[in-house]
Chain A
C-alpha cells in the first residue's frame, strides 16, 4: 500500500496541458507539408521521409484534420482545417461525445495511437470524449483501415447500429484512401466508399495530437482553452 502511494507521488502529474500549449515536436517529425509545388493529397500521403521528392517539405505543424475530401488536396501553404459542427449537432455532442471505434483493416498503427489518447498523458476524457463499447451507446464512429472486403459488412452493420444523428471520423491514410495498400484487390479504398465521412484525419498513423486537434476542432473546443 505504502509502496503504491510512494510510487504515485514519485510518478507525479503527467497530463500535458494541450491545447493550452502545444508540446514541441522533435526535429525529424514530419507534419503538414509546406512549400508545396503543384499539389499534395494529404489523404494519400504516407508521411514517409522520401515522399517529398522536392515538391514540398514537411513542417512541424501537427494540425491536419479536414472536413471535406477536397480539402485534403493541398495546393499551397494554406490548409482548410476542419470546421466545427453546426450549432444543433454541437449542442448535442459538444459536452459529451461517445465514439465507437471500428478497425476495418490496416496495420493497427492507427489503433495504437487512438488507444494512447486514453492514457494520462493525453487524457481524452477531460474533453468529454470517450470511446464506448457498443455502437448503440455511441454518437459516432472512428474508422481506421482501408475497409477490407472481409470487414465491409461488419462496418455497415456497426454504422447502422449507431443511432442518428451520428458523426463518422476516418483516421489514417488507409481509412481515407487505402493508404499503403492502395491498388490491392482485397480492399475498398477508404471508409467513405462504404459510409459517409464527416472528418478526415490524415497520417500514417496520425500523431495522437493530430487526432486530438481534429476532434476538438469539430467540437469547437479549441479556442475555449
Chain B
C-alpha cells in the first residue's frame, strides 16, 4: 500500500485527520524506507485518540532536505503486538521500550525490552564468571547530581558492559501536561530539565502558538533566541569546567565555573532568574531588552568572550589535558548515525545535525549560526565542539544585540484549535528537543509528548565506555552531561 507523504514544518499545526493513517505493517515499512533514504526518527510515540483506538505516530526528519514527515498507524484492539524495528533500526530501541511501557504493547523481537522509567520486575544484566566483577553505583551518588543507577560488568579495570537504569526522576510530566491548565503547563515545561528552561520553554510556547495560530512578535522571537544561546553558553562553559575538574586541572575548572556564572547572571538581568524562568510565555516573552541593558550585555559579553578565549586556550594547549581526552570514549560516526544521536554528541562525530539550521525556528529563520562539527568522536571532540559552539554563540549574541526589532513583546494566544496536532523542534544545548501535542475535539491537550535530547543520547555513554577503564567513566559521563530529569520526565 502506498500513500502520499505528509510533510510538515517545524512549529506548525495541522488537523489530525490529515495525518496519513495506515496499518501496522505499512507503518513499519514506511519508517524503514524513510530511514534508508536519509531519514531519522525524530519521534515515535503512541496516543489514544478520542475514538478510543491506540495509534502509533512517527515523525521522520530528512535533515539534509529540511523536511519532516508525519504518519500514523491504527493499532487493532485487544492485546497489541508490534514487530520491533530495533533489530534493523537501532535508533528505535528506546522509543519502542517507551511505547511498550506506556501502552502495554508487546514489541516482538526487541533485543532488550526492559523498562524505561518503571522499576518493577526488573533484574539487571549480569555476566556470571569467576573472572569478572560487578560495580554498582547510584541512585544516590557521591556528588551533587541527579539520581541514576549504573552497573558495570568488569574484567579487572576493563568495562565489558555498562547498564544504565534511569527513571528515578520520573514525575509524570507528560501525563500532567494533559491534565492541568495551560498556565501551569508552561511552568511544568520550564521544569522538564532545569538547565534547559529556555529550550523546553520555547518548545512548549511554539506548540501553543502553532495550535492557536499566534504570530509571535519578532522582538520576542529575538529575545528568545538570545536567551537560548545564553543557556547554551552557560552549559557548554560549565561542562568544560566539569571536564577540567575531572582531569584535575583545577585553576581552569575554577575559571570556567566562574564564567558560567557570568552567563547565568545575564539571564537573571534579563528575566530575574539565572535559568531563564518566566521569560518565555505563549505568544512572546515577558521581558524586554532595552538600550541600556543591551549596552550592559555587550560590555559583559565582550569581557566574557575575552576570558573564554584565554581560558579555553589554556585548556586546549596543555598537553596533559589533551592526552587525557584524546581517544577516550570514542564513538564512531557510523555508530552515532545508527543510534540517532543528536546535538553536540552527534556533531562531535562529524554528523552535521542542528535544528537551528536544518529546521530553522523562530529568529533562526533569518539569523544564521554556522554549524560546527568535529570528526574524532572522543571526549576531546566533545570538549572541542563545546568550545567552538560557545565561541559562535558569543559572536552571534554580539551581533544579535544590534538587531533587536522593535514592537510588541507578547501577543496573547487565542483558544487552541480542536483535533489538531502540532510539532516543535528546538536545538537546546544538548541537542534536538521535540515536543508534539494533540488536541481533542474540545480543544484540550489530550496528548503531550516530550523528547529531550538525552533520550537519544544516553545509549551513547554506555557504548563510549565499553572496553574502556572504569576510571574513564567519570570523564566520559561529563563529556556527554546528559539530563536525567529530561529523560525521566
Binding site for B on A (CB under 8 A): 3-4, 7-8, 10-11, 14, 25-26, 28-30, 46-50, 58, 100-116, 119-121, 131, 133-135, 145-146, 148-151, 154, 158, 179-181, 183-187, 204-205, 207
What would 15 A/B residue contacts be, using CB atoms closer than 8 Å? A26-B272, A28-B271, A28-B272, A48-B187, A50-B286, A106-B171, A106-B191, A107-B192, A108-B193, A120-B258, A158-B140, A180-B184, A183-B180, A185-B172, A187-B171
Contact of A179 among B119, B168, B191, B255 (CB under 8 A): B191
Contact of A105 among B169, B192, B275 (CB under 8 A): B169
Closest chain B residue, CB of each to CB of A99: B144
A154, B139: Cβ atoms closer than 8 Å = yes
A104 vs B141: C-alpha distance when bound (angstroms): 12
Cβ of B9 under 8 Å from chain A: no
B272, A106: Cβ atoms closer than 8 Å = no
Closest CB-CB distance, B238 to chain A, in whole Å? Answer: 9
A186, B194: Cβ atoms closer than 8 Å = no
Given contacts A30-B273, A207-B274, A112 and B261 within 8 Å (CB-CB): no
A133 vs B311: C-alpha distance when bound (angstroms): 29
A183 vs B184: C-alpha distance when bound (angstroms): 11
Closest CB-CB distance, A176 to chain B, in whole Å? Answer: 14
A28 vs B278: C-alpha distance when bound (angstroms): 11
Q: Which 9 A-B pairs have the closest CB atoms?
A: A109-B194, A186-B172, A133-B142, A28-B272, A107-B194, A49-B278, A119-B257, A107-B191, A108-B194
Q: Give chain B residues whose Cβ lies under 8 Å from the Cβ of A47.
A: 273, 277
Mark interface residues in B136-158 (1 if CB within 8 Å of A CB, else 0).
00011011111100000000000
Binding site for A on B (CB under 8 A): 117-119, 139-140, 142-147, 167-173, 175-176, 179-180, 183-184, 187-188, 190-195, 197, 251, 254-255, 257-258, 261, 265, 268-275, 277-278, 281, 286-287, 307, 310-311, 314, 317, 483-485
A150 vs B165: C-alpha distance when bound (angstroms): 12
Closest CB-CB distance, B339 to chain A, in whole Å? Answer: 24
Closest CB-CB distance, B328 to chain A, in whole Å? Answer: 22
Closest chain B residue, CB of each to CB of A7: B314
Given contacts A28-B272, A107-B193, A109-B275, A119 and B147 within 8 Å (CB-CB): no
Given contacts A8-B251, A48-B277, A106-B169, A180 and B146 within 8 Å (CB-CB): no
Most buried by A among B277, B281, B317: B277
Closest chain A residue, CB of each to CB of B253: A119
B144, A111: Cβ atoms closer than 8 Å = yes
A134 vs B143: C-alpha distance when bound (angstroms): 9
A105 vs B183: C-alpha distance when bound (angstroms): 22
Closest CB-CB distance, B480 to chain A, in whole Å? Answer: 15
A108, B195: Cβ atoms closer than 8 Å = yes
A176 vs B474: C-alpha distance when bound (angstroms): 31
Closest CB-CB distance, B60 to chain A, in whole Å? Answer: 30
B483, A26: Cβ atoms closer than 8 Å = no
Q: Give chain A residues whose Cβ lies under 8 Å from the Cβ of B254.
A: 11, 14, 119-120
A121 vs B314: C-alpha distance when bound (angstroms): 21
Closest CB-CB distance, A74 to chain B, in whole Å? Answer: 19
B269, A28: Cβ atoms closer than 8 Å = yes
Contact of B167 among A113, A116, A150, A207 (CB under 8 A): A150
A180, B275: Cβ atoms closer than 8 Å = no
A28 vs B268: C-alpha distance when bound (angstroms): 7
Given contacts A116-B261, A204-B277, A150 and B170 within 8 Å (CB-CB): yes
B194, A205: Cβ atoms closer than 8 Å = yes
B168, A150: Cβ atoms closer than 8 Å = yes
A18 vs B257: C-alpha distance when bound (angstroms): 18
Given contacts A14-B258, A49-B272, A180-B188, A4 and B314 within 8 Å (CB-CB): yes
B258, A119: Cβ atoms closer than 8 Å = yes
Given contacts A46-B187, A106-B194, A111-B146, A7 and B170 within 8 Å (CB-CB): no
A187 vs B188: C-alpha distance when bound (angstroms): 14
Given contacts A7-B314, A50-B286, A119 and B278 within 8 Å (CB-CB): no
A91 vs B332: C-alpha distance when bound (angstroms): 57
Closest CB-CB distance, B97 to chain A, in whole Å? Answer: 16
Q: Give chain A residues whose Cβ lies under 8 Å from the Cβ of B268.
A: 25-26, 28-29
Q: Give chain B residues whose Cβ lies under 8 Å from the Cβ of A120.
A: 254, 257-258
Given contacts A48-B277, A104-B147, A183-B180, A121 and B258 within 8 Å (CB-CB): yes
B170, A115: Cβ atoms closer than 8 Å = no
A58 vs B172: C-alpha distance when bound (angstroms): 30
Given contacts A119-B258, A120-B257, A154-B139, A111 and B171 within 8 Å (CB-CB): no
